[in-house]
Structure 1
Amino acid sequence: MLVRQALLAGIAALVSGSVQAEDQAAGLQAEIENWAQSRAFNGVILFDGDQDVRYVHGTADPETDRPLTMDTRFQTGSVEKYFAAITVFALVEQGVLDLDAPISDYLPDYRADTGSAVTLRDLLTNRSGLPNDMVNAFRRIASGEAERVDAMSSTQAVTEFASGDLNQVPGEVFDYVLVNWLLVQHVVERASGMSYPEARQDFVFTRAGMSQSGGYIHDLGSTEPHVLDVAIGFDPADANGQGDYWTPQWFKGSYTTARDLQRLERALDDGDVLNPDSLGEFRSVQVPDSRYAYGGRFSTWELCGEQFTVSTQAGSNGASNMISAYLPARRIGAAMTTNVDTSQGQMFEFAHRLFEIELGCG
C-alpha cells in the first residue's frame, strides 16, 4: 500500500511539474509575442530554457518578399570578434599562439616598434593603442576605389590600414577599433598556416555544432558560394534603405542563426570548444568599465534579487542586428536576430525580462 501511494505521489509530482513547465512556456510565448508585435519586430527570437520558445516574423529580403524562418542566417557584425577570440584561445591551447607574446613573433614583416609593443591580449581586449585607420579603407571605397582596395592582399591591407603610430600605450586604454581585428585575423593565418575562415570553422563552428554558421566575402547577399536563406538588412520606411555594409575581401565576415548562437554558449559550457582553464580566462572581464573580456562582454545582471554573470554578445552591420544573452549558472539563454535596425539595449532589456520569468520572479 505504501509503495503504491509513493508511486502515485511521484506520478502526481511529475504531472504537476510538466503542467508548470507548459504554463511557463505559454507565459514566455505570450510575453515574446506581445513585445515583438508592439514593436513590429522583424526578426527571430529564441529563448532556450527548460523548453524552447520561438518567434519568427517578417521579411528576409524586401526585394523578393521572402519570409524569415528559424533557420535564416544573419550577418554577425561584432559577434565575429567573439568567434575570433575563441579561435585564438583554441590556438593558444595548441601552443601555436601566446596571448602575451609580441605580435612581431608572428608577423616578422610588421613594423618592428609597434609589433614588439603590442600583444594578442592587447588586440583581443581592444587595448592595442593603434589608431582607427580602417576608416581610411572605407573612405577610399566610398570615393570609387573599391576595386583597388579589394585587390589588396591581407599583408598589404595590414601595412596600409593597421600600421599607424600608436595613440596610446598598449594595454592601457580601451578603444573599439577594427584594426585590432584585422590584425587578429592576420596573426591567425600566419601562425596557423590556415586561412582565417578555415581556422574559425574548425575551432568554433565545427566544435560547437554550429551547422548554420559560416563566412562570407563582401556581403552576405551576394557572396560566393551562394548562401541560402539569408537576411538582407533594410529600412521599411525607405525604399532605397537596404543597408548591410560591403567589406573588402581581406576582412572576413561571418553569419549565424539564433539557434547557433545558443549552441555555441552551451558547447563552451560543455567543454567542447575550450578546456576549463581556457574558458575561465576567456570569460574573465579585462576592462571593467566596459565589461569587456576577450572579443565580447560579460555583464552582471540582477535577477530575482541575485547577482549573475551573463554573456552579453551583440553585433550589427548596417540594418542587421543581433544579441545573445546566456546565463551559465542556469544554462538558459536568449538570442534575437533582426534585419531591421532595432535597439540592442531594448533587446537586452527584454532578455533580462525573459530570464526573470524563467527563474520564477518575472
Structure 2
Amino acid sequence: MIDRRGLFAAAGALCAAPGLSLAAPARLGADNPVVDAFVAEQKFQGVVMIGRKGRASYVRAFGMADIEAGKPAVRDTVYCVASISKWLTTIAVLRLVEQGKLSLDAPIITWLPEQRPDTGKTVTLAHLLSNTSGIPNGFMPALKADPELLKKNLSAAESVKAFAQGDPLFPPGTRFDYHPVNWFVVSAIVEAVTGKPFLALVKELTTDPLKMGHTRAGLGVDAEPGVAVSYYAGPPLARRANPRMDVMAASGGYFSTVDDLLVAAHIVFDTPFLSEASRKALTTILVPEQDYALGGRVRSLTIDGQVKLAGWETGRTAGYRSVLGHRLDTGDTVVILNNTDLSQKALDLFADKLFGAAPRP
C-alpha cells in the first residue's frame, strides 16, 4: 500500500536512482494550467490527451502504471476503459446493421429463438444498446451467491440462458437500467447471426479498421507489462484485482490507450466510416435524463455562451476510470485514463474544463 501523496516523490526518486533508467513520459504541447491544477489537487495518476480530428496537440503521463514494479505511466500505457467498451460494441453492431445482418428495431427473438417470449418479442437491439430493455440483471445475484462464477467463463449463449430469463422489470424503452446482462444478450446475438466469436467480430469490425492496435479485451495485468495496474483510492493506494469473464467484454472488458481512443473517436464521428444513418443512431439521445444514446452519451457543453454537443463515453471498473469526449462540431477530443479509483464526476468536470465549457448547473 502506498499513500497517494507519496506517489510522485517515489517516481522522482526512482528516476534519479543511480543505474536505474526509466522511460520518461512522452510530452507533447505547451504546459496546460488546467491539467497542472487538476494533477496537483487530485494527485492524478494516468494519461491526459487533447487533440483535434485524430491528431494529438497535448499529451502528458503522470505517476505510475505499476507502483510495486516501479513502472511509470507513459503515453502508450494500456488501461481498462470499462464502459467505453459499450461504444466499441455498438460500432460493431451498427456495421452489422449496415450489412443487413441485424436490425435495431427487430425483436431479439429473431436471433435468439429460445429467449422467453415476453422479452424476446418486445425487446429490440436498440433497447439493449440503450440499457432500456427491462430484462433484469440476473448476473449480480448469481455472482454474489457464487464468487467462483467468474472462473467458469460461460459463453454468451450460456450467459443469456442463465442470467437473462427473469421476469421483465418494466416495458422496454420506459426506464433506464444500466447493467451487463443487456450486453450479454448483445454478444449472443452477434455470435448467433455471424457464427463468429464476439471478440473476433469486434476486432474485425471495430478495432482493426479504427487502427486501434493496442486495444483488446481480456488482458491479464500480471502478464502484460504495458498494462496499468488498478488501485483502490486510499490513502494508502492498494493494488486490486479485476477478474472478469469473456462475456463481460461487450459491456466493460476492453483495454486501450489514449492514442487509440483519440483516433477512433475522429474516424467514427468525423468521417464516413459509419453510414449517415448509423452516425445518427449513435448520436441520437434515447434516454434524455441520462443523455444516453446507443452505447454511450451525448453531452451538451456550454462553450463561449453556445451549446455544443459532444459524444461522451466514460468507464469505471475496479480502480480504472476513463473519459472520452469528442465535440461533434469541431472534432476536438479529450481522453483521460486513470488507474487510482478517482471520482468519475471529478474526471468529467476536468474534461469539461479542458473543453473550455462552463460549469454544469
Q: What is the TM-score normalised by the length of structure 2? A: 0.84
> CA 1:69–1:244 in 2, change beyond 3 Å: closer, same or farther?
same
Q: Does 1:72 pair with 2:77?
A: yes
Distance 2:199 2:334 in 1: 26
Distance 1:162 1:124 in 2: 15
Give the AA of the match of 1:338: N
Structure 1 stretches lacking a partner, 5+ long? 1-24
> CA 1:146–1:184 in 2, change beyond 3 Å: closer, same or farther?
closer
User: How many residues of Structure 1 are paired with residues of Structure 2 in the alignment?
Assistant: 325
Alpha-carbon offset, residue 272 of structure 1: 5.1
Q: Does 1:249 pair with 2:246?
A: yes
Q: Does 1:173 pair with 2:175?
A: yes
Q: Does 1:83 pair with 2:53?
A: no
Per-residue CA deviation, residues 189-241 of structure 1 (Å, 9 max, x unaligned), is 1111221111111111112111111111xx5315xxx5440011013646783
The question of whether the paired residues in 1 share the 8 Å contact of 2:287 and 2:293 is answered with yes
Look up the match of 1:153: 155
Look up the match of 2:310: 310
Per-residue CA deviation, residues 104-156 of structure 1 (Å, 9 max, x unaligned), is 111122223321111101101111011111102321442x4554xx1533322
Look up the match of 1:32: 35
Structure 2 stretches lacking a partner, 5+ long? 1-28
Give the AA of the match of 1:100: D
Distance 1:100 1:138 in 2: 31
> CA 1:278–1:146 in 2, change beyond 3 Å: closer, same or farther?
closer
Greater helix share, structure number: 1
Once the two structures are overlaid, the 10-residue window that deviates more, 51-60 or 89-98, is: 51-60
1:4-19 to structure 2, matched below 5 A, reads none
> CA 1:308–1:239 in 2, change beyond 3 Å: closer, same or farther?
closer
Q: Does 1:124 pair with 2:129?
A: yes
The question of whether the paired residues in 2 share the 8 Å contact of 1:300 and 1:310 is answered with yes
Look up the match of 1:271: 271
Distance 1:207 1:343 in 2: 32
Alpha-carbon offset, residue 269 of structure 1: 2.9
1:199-210 to structure 2, matched below 5 A, reads 199-210=201-212
Look up the match of 2:3: none
Give the AA of the match of 1:248: M
The question of whether the paired residues in 2 share the 8 Å contact of 1:75 and 1:220 is answered with no
Look up the match of 2:353: 353
> CA 1:47–1:240 in 2, change beyond 3 Å: closer, same or farther?
closer
Q: Does 1:288 pair with 2:288?
A: yes
Match of 1:134 among 129, 136, 139: 139
Q: Secondary structure at the match of 1:325?
A: strand
State the superposition RMSD in angstroms: 2.1
Larger Rg: 1
Look up the match of 1:334: 334
Give the AA of the match of 2:143: F
Look up the match of 2:260: 260
Q: Does 1:320 pair with 2:320?
A: yes
The question of whether the paired residues in 1 share the 8 Å contact of 2:49 and 2:56 is answered with no
Q: Secondary structure at the match of 2:342?
A: coil
Match of 2:229 among 228, 232, 252: 232
Deviating beyond 4 angstroms after TM superposition, the runs of 4 or more aligned structure 1 residues are: none
Per-residue CA deviation, residues 6-40 of structure 1 (Å, 9 max, x unaligned), is xxxxxxxxxxxxxxxxxxx53x5233123212321
Percent identity of the aligned residues? 27
The question of whether the paired residues in 2 share the 8 Å contact of 1:29 and 1:54 is answered with no
Give the AA of the match of 1:246: P
Distance 2:283 2:241 in 1: 30
Look up the match of 1:5: none
Look up the match of 1:8: none
Distance 1:47 1:107 in 2: 42
